[in-house]
Structure 1
Amino acid sequence: MAERGILAYFHSPQEAEGCVSKLKALRAIDVQIDKIGQYPGHGIDETYNPLSNSDFAGLAHLTLGAAPSSQDARILMAANPDASGMSDGGHDFYTDDMTRRDTLLTVVVDEATFDQALRVIEEAGGRI
């Protein structure tokens, strides 16, 4: 039988987890949930004080958890509205449906259950 892959975007891993059991009930071959982002690095999981830490890597690391590869990349990342908090006001981040969907659900299903899997994902709030 042929296999089909699905990439769906969610606002959080918990939102994506909401449909995993139903996908497994459809006998999904593989299901994986990952956080994705614009910048390299794994993020910051702890309270971080740049004044008391001697290896402070810059604003991009502090606010985005990014791992810039060069000084130029560090400067460009720090200028991003996500890091600096500054915005041009021309884009409403909360009404754009794909904005802030930083969780990727990857599913491999049998072709016979593909349409059902799409419905399950969309009902859970995922965007294909």
Structure 2
Amino acid sequence: MSEKNILAYFKSPEEAQSAAKKLQALRIVDMSIDRFSRYPGTELYGSGLPFAGDMVNLSAATYGTSMSGESSAIMAAADPSSSGMSDGGQGEITGRDILLTIVVQEDCFDRAMKIVEDAGGMA
């Protein structure tokens, strides 16, 4: 039997987890929930305190937090929106930064799509 995949975008991890629980009743081959960002490796690890001399980089001052990866911090600092003079015109993420990836048997595909849409996902 063949398989199909679904990439579903959610606004919160809780929405995606709710859909994942309901999808367990179907014949799921594989499933994962991930958060993605415009910058690679942007796990945030705390806020800097610029007034206390704790500003690690420009992204800490601009976004109010430091990023775990040096490359992502550089990319965030170089973004036109960091200066406050531009929105960057990059087409920001629309609030759906949680990705539920599903691999399902073909005969369960339509039911899986319905579950995703009912849970608030966008596929």
Matched-pair contact (CA < 8 Å) for 2:10–2:121: yes
Runs of 4+ in 1 over 6 A off after TM superposition: none
Match of 2:107? Answer: 112
Looking at structure 2, the residues matched to 124 and 22 of structure 1 have their Cα atoms a distance apart, in angstroms, of 9
Q: Does 1:40 align with 2:22?
A: no
**Alignment gaps of 5+ in structure 2:** none
Match of 2:71? Answer: 69
Matched-pair contact (CA < 8 Å) for 2:8–2:100: yes
Note the 1:90-105 alignment, pairs <5 A: 99-105=94-100
Looking at structure 2, the residues matched to 67 and 16 of structure 1 have their Cα atoms a distance apart, in angstroms, of 26
Matched-pair contact (CA < 8 Å) for 1:7–1:105: yes
Cα offsets for 1:18-66 (capped at 9, x unmatched): 1111111112111100001111223324332234336x02226862737
Identity of aligned residues (%): 41
Match of 1:22? Answer: 22
Matched-pair contact (CA < 8 Å) for 1:40–1:66: no
Question: 1:123 pairs with 112, 118, 123, which one?
Answer: 118
Name the TM-score, length of structure 2 as normaliser: 0.75
Larger CA deviation: 16-25 vs 116-125: 16-25
Larger CA deviation: 25-34 vs 68-77: 68-77
Matched-pair contact (CA < 8 Å) for 1:3–1:110: yes
Matched-pair contact (CA < 8 Å) for 1:48–1:62: no
